[in-house]
Chains A and B, each alone.
Chain A
Amino acid sequence: MKKRHFKHEPLDALRDADPIVAERLPGVGDDPRAQALFEEITSLPIEEEAPSPTRAPKRSWIFQPAWAASAAVALVAGVVGTVALLGGSPSDPPDTQTVPTNQTPPTAAAAPIAGACVEQYDLETLANRDFAFDGTVTSVDGDQVTFLVNQWFRGDQVTEVTLTATGLTGGALTEEGVPLEEEVTSIGGGLTLVDGERFLVAGSDIFVWSCGFTQSYDPAVAADWAAVFEG
């Protein structure tokens, strides 16, 4: 389960191809246009004062987007749809007076947003994973988690394995190093890989998958997993 190496690292190649030299952009203090925009925006009514407006001002020389006349301008804050990422057709942004019921603010999710998972977990999709095992966490270092494998269902058959578990290790700490409870559940869908605890773990490449593909150990589920990977 090794990462593929290229002669030229593609991410470096992409960085070098950045079309914009960000250092050339002036700060707000040196940009009269930015200062004028700030003044114009902060003169706008806020929701409590004017419940009906849904569009930015059109008379100002700043707010003259040709396309805005036919598009709803104001978006519900924090609503970033996962539909586009799944290849669907993004709907027009909703009016500011309504909150879409099929979307949640990305920062408020206590469980994975529908579509936020790479795949939906079931025993059929589980069977497609590169590796699966019953293991106990022995160390957590950033998003690198090491497991002592109790039983392999599919995989390398080694005693110990270290995998990348992005979003499953908590990550937000107080100054004392104690995880902030609200952060622990906001990213990994409620599951956090904790040193000393036992999990059923599945994934592909070098990644541990969330969204049910990794879950707290349960003997009945373990028996299902064993059956999936038999033969």
Chain B
Amino acid sequence: MDGLSGKKPAVVWLLNISVVVLVALWLFPTLGLFVSSFRTSEQITSSGWWASLFPAEQTLQLRALDPDDNRIETGAGMFVVEGNVLEGDYAEVNIDRWGTSSRAPSAYTIGDTADLGDGESMTLNADGTYIWQGNDDQISGRGQRLFIIATVPPEFTTDNYKNVLFTEGNSEDMAKAFFNTLTVVIPATIIPILIAAFAAYALAWMDFPGRALLIATVVGLLVVPLQLALIPLLQFHNAIGIGKGYLGVWMAHTGFGLPLAIYLLRNYMVGLPRDIIENARVDGATEFQIFTKIILPLSFPALASFAIFQFLWTWNDLLVALVFLIDSSGETTVMTKQIVELLGTRGGDWEILATSAFISIAVPLLVFFMMQKYLVRGLLAGSVK
């Protein structure tokens, strides 16, 4: 491409624009969820999330202060109320036009004085301060209504997160599910790594009959759909008395993760320099020492790659948790299951759905962006030969 795109500006532009479109297309869905999780339920249902990113024109209906408490006599039976309509919630609002009746909410511009008849008047300034003048009769009862056509800046709230995570007795107990997920994921990531590392070393650097067959078996098992394992293993877990629970789900994840772990680690270990290992053997190191002192530290990138895969996979898993972990009590529910449940029961409550979903994808995204290097490396080791 460089023979061409490097030279002609038009092509460079086209290239940049098409990549921008592609990136936007891929980012847009996640962004929608992210933005929605910071909006109130009224905001979500009243406008599309994309509209919330830009200032929106709105008609606000406000009132001047209660005249009976706030009026000041200016002499000769005339009174005045001064104040600021934008105080409090509307501090950020930019007034475009305003009016004093619902029929003409945009009758005046900023700084105009509205004639309310019989000498009563209202003046509104850009900062929201107003002067409302009139006689004893006029400046009494309720405060004068003010209609303001205003540009409201984007407004976001973190209340959804507080609500979903910290509100006591919340039916959508995401906090509990979050910790359950964590409880599933950590052992299910660490244990297969250990088992696989030893096996991978044997398959990479030890010579024994049947080695080629074993490697072929591992490659074959890589693609065996775990759907096949559900019923036989559930029977097995029931037979040995662990039933549904954490122990079962840890063991299942370990078993299902092993082929990839062995495959990745073996591919990596085979590439380590032969000299180091042979020298260590000549110097009298035992295989166990070679493994722990030389191979394991050198294989760190491959270990990290697999750890990320397994972490993402176990964190995001629904099927294995449904079958091996979650019993009828629902005490051990994980986040993915919780969200599916919310989709069913509260499909319209987007503020809760979006927030819950975002909580569940925040951790993998964080891991993804921090460890992307290792993830890419692992993918390449696993696929490109």
Chains A and B form a bound pair: no
Binding site for B on A (CB under 8 A): none
